[in-house]
Amino acid sequence: MDLRFTPEEVAFREEVRAFIRANLPADIRERMRLGHKPTKQDTITWQRILNARGWAAFSWPTEWGGPGWTAIQRMIFLEENLQAPAPELLSFNITMLGPVLVEFGTETQKRHFLPRAANLDDWWCQGFSEPGAGSDLASLRTAAVRDGDHYVVNGQKIWTSTAHNADWCFCLVRTDPKAAKRQEGISFLLIDLRTPGIEVRPIISIDGSHHLNEVFFTDVRVPAENLVGEENKGWSVAKYLLGNERTGIARLGTSKAAVRRAKEVAREVRTRGRPLIEDRAFRTRVAQLEVDMKALEITQLRVVSAFAKSGGKTPDPLSSVLKVKGTELLQASSELVMDVGGPLAMPAWQQELAALANEPAPIPDWAPAMAPAYLMLRAASIYGGTNEIQKNILNKAVLGL
Amino acid sequence: MDFDLTEDQRLLTDSVARLLADQYGFEQRKSLLKAPLGWSERLWSQYAELGLLGLPIPEEYGGFGGGPVDVMLLMQAFGRHLVLEPYLASIVLGGTALRLAGSAAQRDELLPALADGTLKLAFAHGERQSRYDLPDVLTTARQDGGGWRLDGAKSVVLHGDCADRLVVSARTAGSRDEAAGISLFLVDAEASGLARRGYALRDGTRAAELSLTGVPAELLGERDAALPVIERVIEAGIAATAAETIGAMEAMQAMTLDYLKTRQQFGRPIGDNQALQHRSAEMMIALEQGRSMAMLAAMSVDAPDAEERARSIAMARVGVGQAGRFVSQNAVQLHGGIGMTDEYAVGHFFRRVMVIEHLFGDTAHHLDRLADQVE
């Protein structure tokens, strides 16, 4: 047993770090450093730079453009990218659709969609949740009825992240409403969002941003060749997608970058006549977060290592531990950053800041992104299976309750 | 990076698991607790025969030359069964002090006896006033002819009642709280001027108060410069008890799960209730996070960089301490009334974890040290 990275892994980390340092455009770097979310164009630009290096499809098999990395290398790459901090790869394209097409797609689907997904020529979104189907996904009702060589889709999806940016949506639809088990009548369909009959309506989040959407389907005709896997077998495809390698799920790099940021700003601001960084309560809070991040880092290594040993096939139920603790840390670290900002983190001055672009900023540059990050990360314990659902999974899979 | 066990480590864990399953049932342990010694000399000999006592002792001294991961695996197994023998006191604490500070002659004389079980050591450092502050030493040593004599008192010395020799810290210079001026000494348990009062801790393991009046002693290691050795002995204790805590948490979690599945209320197993299911999932999460930290402790305890080592050990201590409290408190809670009874095992594990957390600096103490280092 040895927790140290091999010299090759250390060299790999250096290689990734050096590449990001040399190639992340300065304006994107600055936005990310200040804690802002990447713009649509930031995400596209950075993913194309990584793709040109052969790294965007980091978890795909080499025959479909993957770099052929080990599980440890993949983890190191994701961590370095988050810690830089650089925009994340579009997970819908890379960690969700890509592996699903590799496993279940037809040759034509693979050849057409995979290179475009890697290069972000198509922006994908995920059409799973519905108003009546959240944690209970199998109760989804959006219907697809076969009509010649098309499916006709009617229904509604909700909480569809980045649908307003997206070109395509991979959807779960009900193709057999009479199936004996709810899970048996579901299919996995690729839908071009430019098809007539689709309407995307924004949902504004508590951070004031437009990230989520409702998507309405009215008599949308989808070519039958866009079915992935067999008809009525979409639930296995979805389970594969959700249970697929989840090394990135803890997003530890983001929490680390946030704590680092909190300490930086804590040198600038004061409390009770001294720099906040000297305050005992603040230091203890940081120390506790650093302990928890260290524990999760090792737990993550254990999961990655077990995953690699299983030949990359068995998703470890421990990945639910990564999800729960990882999101708790994302939330706690963003909370810390906001608290460091204090009252200056509170003004909702986005428009004013934009209008005053040529004047001295009314608040420090570190302030505007603090509260939005905190607010948006409340979603971290809700999406991808709520943390309560993760605990149910642990009970079933590991504890047998 | 590698989480695999070697073939030897697998054999070690298998043979220890077999021995303890056979010899350390809850009822068997209870009868050991009632005996005057509070542990089993017969089992101690068996540990010696199995090579467990010599595990971390270099081969040149008759040991097995094992590393911290071997000790981790062994302590974890001991934690699962609440082993009462003085392994921590004699082999981990005493042995580490001897290995790090002993002269060639002292190592030649004592390490082989430690490995074959004929010598038991105890580490007598803490005093009534010192709490967790390692440089807070008031016991004094003065030179007397060619040797030394010690005066003072030592408190909560683990297995100090049964040790054949004691490793005792004392001031050879400086005053209370000063890092310099502390030295280590070897004291014979039968030495004149040494009074020992043995007692049980809350978990049934043994300890002693020592009173020293002109006790003849032999210097162990460099004069005035023992604090770094003491720190490493404590670090070794933290790493070993971190693993022991993991073993105890595993046992408590298994017992609790079993109880949730079998205990019926309102006509169904109480484990059908989601409030209890989620608590048990949270216990598992805490256990796994704690396990990661116990691994960190084991893999840091021999690290060459003192600062990095101390930091990792402190982090591990906090992580395991918090996990241990969460798991043990909830294990009792989920058992309900039966968890409060002395006749049921869960409370014994609870008390072992509680005692461990208060031995080498508690969670708050180590979190405070880490807070000092935030930069």
In this structure, which topology does domain B228-373 adopt according to CATH? Butyryl-CoA Dehydrogenase, subunit A; domain 3 (1.20.140)
Which residues in chain B are contacts of A4 at CB distance < 8 A?
A: 1, 299
What is the per-residue pLDDT across A101-157, written as a single tens digit (0 to 9) for each? 999 999 999 999 999 999 999 999 999 999 999 989 999 999 999 999 999 999 999
Residue A314 CB contacts under 8 Å (≥ 6 apart), including other chains: A307
| Res B99: pLDDT | 97
Residue B25 CB contacts under 8 Å (≥ 6 apart), including other chains: none
Mean of per-residue pLDDT scores for chain B: 97
Nearest CB partner across the interface for A321, out of B5, B285, B315? B285
| Res A228: pLDDT | 98
Which residues in chain A are contacts of B318 at CB distance < 8 A?
A: 287-288, 291
Q: Taking 70 as the threshold, does the pLDDT of residue A246 lie above it?
A: no
For chain A, give every domain's residue range: 7-89, 124-232, 245-399
For the segment A242-263, the average pLDDT, to the nearest whole number, is 87
Residues 55-114 of A with CB under 8 A from B: 72
Which of A199-203, A364-368, B126-130, B293-297 has the lowest average pLDDT? Answer: A364-368
Q: Taking 70 as the threshold, does the pLDDT of residue A245 lie above it?
A: no
Q: Is B152 left (phi over 0), alpha (psi -120 to 50) or beta?
A: left
Percent of chain A with pLDDT over 70: 96
Measured at the alpha carbon of residue A211, what is the angle toward residues A208 and A214, in degrees to the nearest 5? 110
DSSP labels, B22-42? HH--HHHHHHHHHSSSSS-HH
CATH homologous superfamily for B121-224? Answer: Butyryl-CoA Dehydrogenase, subunit A, domain 2 (2.40.110.10)
Going A63 to A64 to A67 to A68, the CA torsion angle's sign is negative
Query: Is A199 an active-site residue?
Result: no
Q: Taking 70 as the threshold, does the pLDDT of residue B145 lie above it?
A: yes
Mean of per-residue pLDDT scores for chain A: 93
For chain B, give every domain's residue range: 7-115, 121-224, 228-373
Could you tell me which residues of chain B have a Cβ less than 8 Å from any Cβ in chain A? 1-5, 9, 69, 257, 260-261, 271-272, 274, 277-278, 280-282, 284-285, 288-293, 295-296, 298-299, 315, 318-319, 367-368, 370-375
Nearest CB partner across the interface for A388, out of B261, B272, B278? B278
Q: Taking 90 as the threshold, does the pLDDT of residue B324 lie above it?
A: yes
For the segment B72-80, the average pLDDT, to the nearest whole number, is 98
Task: Classify B7-115 by CATH class.
Answer: mainly alpha
Q: Taking 70 as the threshold, does the pLDDT of residue A314 lie above it?
A: no
For the segment A179-188, the average pLDDT, to the nearest whole number, is 95
What is the distance between the alpha carbons of residues A386 and A282, in angstroms, rounded to a whole number? 29
Q: Please give, one letter per residue, the 3-state secondary structure of chain A.
A: CECCCCHHHHHHHHHHHHHHHHHCCHHHHHHHHCCCCCCHHHHHHHHHHHHHCCCCCCCCCHHHCCCCCCHHHHHHHHHHHHHCCCCCCCHHHHHHHHHHHHHHCCHHHHHHHHHHHHCCCCCEEEECCECCECCCHHHCCCEEEEECCEEEEEEEEECCCCHHHCCEEEEEEECCCCCCCHHHHEEEEEEECCCCCEEEEEEECCCCCEEEEEEEEEEEEEEHHHEECCCCEHHHHHHHHHHCCCHHHHCHHHHHHHHHHHHHHHHHCEECCEEHHHCHHHHHHHHHHHHHHHHHHHHHHHHHHHHHHCCCCCCCCCHHHHHHHHHHHHHHHHHHHHHHHHHHHCCCCHHHHHHCCCCCCCCCCCCCCHHHHHHHHHHHHCCCCCHHHHHHHHHHHHHCC
Q: Taking 70 as the threshold, does the pLDDT of residue B154 lie above it?
A: yes
| Res B206: pLDDT | 98
For the segment B275-288, the average pLDDT, to the nearest whole number, is 97
- CB of A190 within 8 A of CB of A228? yes
For residue B1, the tally of other CB atoms under 10 A from its CB is 16
User: Are A3 and B295 inside 8 Å of each other by CB?
Assistant: yes
- Provide the token pair at A183: 């899970």
Interface check A280 vs B, CB under 8 A? yes
Q: pLDDT band for position A384 (50/70/90)?
A: confident
- CB of B297 within 8 A of CB of B312? yes
Task: Classify A124-232 by CATH class.
Answer: mainly beta
The residue whose two tokens read 């042995």 is B95
Nearest CB partner across the interface for A286, out of B3, B368, B374? B374
What is the per-residue pLDDT across A24-82, written as a single tens digit (0 to 9) for each? 999 999 999 988 999 999 999 999 999 999 999 999 999 999 999 998 999 999 999 99
- Provide the token pair at A225: 């060749």
- For the segment(s) A245-399, the CATH number from 3.40.30.10, 3.90.1170.50, 1.20.140.10, 2.60.40.1150 is 1.20.140.10
What is the distance between the alpha carbons of residues B189 and B186, in angstroms, rounded to a whole number? 9
